[in-house]
Structure 1
């Protein structure tokens, strides 16, 4: 019984095409049920001849198609005309009711047939979308794999070229690794972006989870903005490791963020770091911080306090 119900559901949604024998059996069952209902109604109103067969026509068409529906309608008209549970004669009124029944049945058959065609088209579209989604995922995975290979190749080439310039190499090496980490995070969510907290954890985790605190709700960051944040967080974390909170045994970092409409406000606050005696000329890192969020209508304000660096970032978060 359960299997029969499942088959009917699949046929109803256009997922399964029944055989002609199955459709004929179902239509016959519908006619039997309709005749039984008509027999019961005859005790109340003996002039109900064709109305109970209209639902039978609908279900027979929805399951078996227009041809089965037409056959069901014709058999229903014959049964309504021949079987007279009230004992009345065949007169003009009965013929008129039959004509009306056939007209309504034609409309029902057209509607049910139209529904079947829509269900089949919908199923075909769903199948094609599933195949395209699988192909897209395969393509994205392949592109991500090639990107990782190219990043590794660039990393190796730069290392070979700059092996006699360790300071330059150290700066470039860490930034390439930060970009690779951001790409991995973005790839985990199918190239669409990543959560801000995950991005921070990937960059700050190596310094020890007891050295920092993250305050803010879940916030999904689109891919392009995530890459910019990856570079920003890497730059700030590197500075914290060299000169700021992570360079002191008691140093501590607190990162907080809030959203107001589509604007993100993030605060990077270091405490208990070594005192900052001298601030050098703006280097690549400073230029990076100043320009990283400009594409997102954002800005970064940095203040060097005695207890550590205080950085405030604001930007627009594009919709996903």
Structure 2
């Protein structure tokens, strides 16, 4: 337990999340200097003119564990040891002084680099913390909105049931559609966290308009959560438009949706037929902007054409691995 905690504290100190006591930092820096001096003594048997190089790692580790002040003291101590300790019998001359100045310059860069890395790491941790909080808030808000939507749907269902209790035929048709809409909302809410199958998503969105009014052609395809929600928004927009002006607004209207997969790319076609004549097309609204932008984060695009038989829409996008 003690060793595990010690290793964890060292990792946190290395990342700059924990500042150890000054005494511990100084002891660690002194140990680094001792190790560097021993290495220098061993190297002196091969190269007597190596005076300061072994102290560069000591400065790095001392700064990483104790901070810039401890690193600066370690650098100065390394310079003093390099000047005073002589393992090869070489005199103190201008060359050694020049090497010391170079060593101090490199040590300064090392200290700056460690502090710069720590500041960047601290910013990244702060950004990650804010993103986590924002994601938790978004999830809480979405859950609350979904809860309120279910309550409103239940209220509307109850009010209509009271009003139409003496018209059972009308109520049976409305009852089925309200239940289908509630089922579609539940599926989208689950897809936001888990993903869902493409056919199930289409069926839930198109079901309220009658299962004999559309045909789905394609192999089973599981959609990751974010892509499922993006496609659900597109399908809802297209289905709403079909209910107001397209295939579902005509007694003989029919919709066919087909999709294929090639490698990791999905191609989906939405074809409406036998809808009412399309009048003058107005300015692009929120729905048109949604169709163009919803799949951009999946390297995708949506193309819509207003034909005499109804809307023809093609979608292409990359399906991320689940």
The match for 1:224 among 225, 230, 233 is: 233
In structure 2, the CA distance between the partners of 1:21 and 1:176, relative to structure 1 (3 Å rule), is farther
Within 1, Cα distance between the matches of 2:123 and 2:161? Answer: 56
Shift of 1:231: 7.9
Aligned equivalent of 2:133: 131
Shift of 1:155: 1.5
The match for 2:41 among 1, 14, 39 is: 39
**Structure 1 stretches lacking a partner, 5+ long:** 233-254, 268-281, 288-293, 303-312
Aligned equivalent of 1:81: 83
In structure 2, the CA distance between the partners of 1:257 and 1:263, relative to structure 1 (3 Å rule), is closer
Aligned equivalent of 1:121: 123
Within 1, Cα distance between the matches of 2:42 and 2:73? Answer: 24
**Structure 2 stretches lacking a partner, 5+ long:** 242-256, 277-286, 292-303
In structure 2, the CA distance between the partners of 1:40 and 1:141, relative to structure 1 (3 Å rule), is same
In structure 2, the CA distance between the partners of 1:190 and 1:125, relative to structure 1 (3 Å rule), is same
Over the aligned positions, Cα root-mean-square deviation in angstroms equals 4.4
The alignment covers a number of residue pairs equal to 276
- Give the TM-score, by structure 2 length: 0.69
In structure 2, the CA distance between the partners of 1:61 and 1:170, relative to structure 1 (3 Å rule), is same
**Contact 1:54–1:105 (8 Å) recurs in 2:** yes
**Contact 2:269–2:315 (8 Å) recurs in 1:** no
Pairwise mapping of residues 12-161 of structure 1 onto structure 2 (< 5 A)? 12-161=14-163
Shift of 1:23: 2.2
Within 1, Cα distance between the matches of 2:113 and 2:75? Answer: 14
Give the number of the structure whose alpha-carbon radius of gyration is greater: 1
Aligned equivalent of 1:184: 186
Within 2, Cα distance between the matches of 1:20 and 1:121? Answer: 24
**Contact 2:33–2:58 (8 Å) recurs in 1:** yes
Residues 69-88 of structure 1, C-alpha deviation per residue, up to 9 Å, x if partnerless?
10110111111112111122
In structure 2, the CA distance between the partners of 1:190 and 1:46, relative to structure 1 (3 Å rule), is same
Within 2, Cα distance between the matches of 1:319 and 1:129? Answer: 25
Within 1, Cα distance between the matches of 2:318 and 2:11? Answer: 38
SS at match of 1:189: helix
In structure 2, the CA distance between the partners of 1:112 and 1:226, relative to structure 1 (3 Å rule), is same
SS at match of 1:171: helix
Shift of 1:2: 4.9
Within 2, Cα distance between the matches of 1:14 and 1:145? Answer: 42
Within 2, Cα distance between the matches of 1:153 and 1:14? Answer: 54
In structure 2, the CA distance between the partners of 1:49 and 1:113, relative to structure 1 (3 Å rule), is same
**Contact 1:18–1:64 (8 Å) recurs in 2:** yes
SS at match of 1:48: coil
Within 2, Cα distance between the matches of 1:300 and 1:258? Answer: 23
**Contact 2:15–2:121 (8 Å) recurs in 1:** yes
Aligned equivalent of 1:235: none
Within 2, Cα distance between the matches of 1:168 and 1:82? Answer: 101
SS at match of 1:257: strand
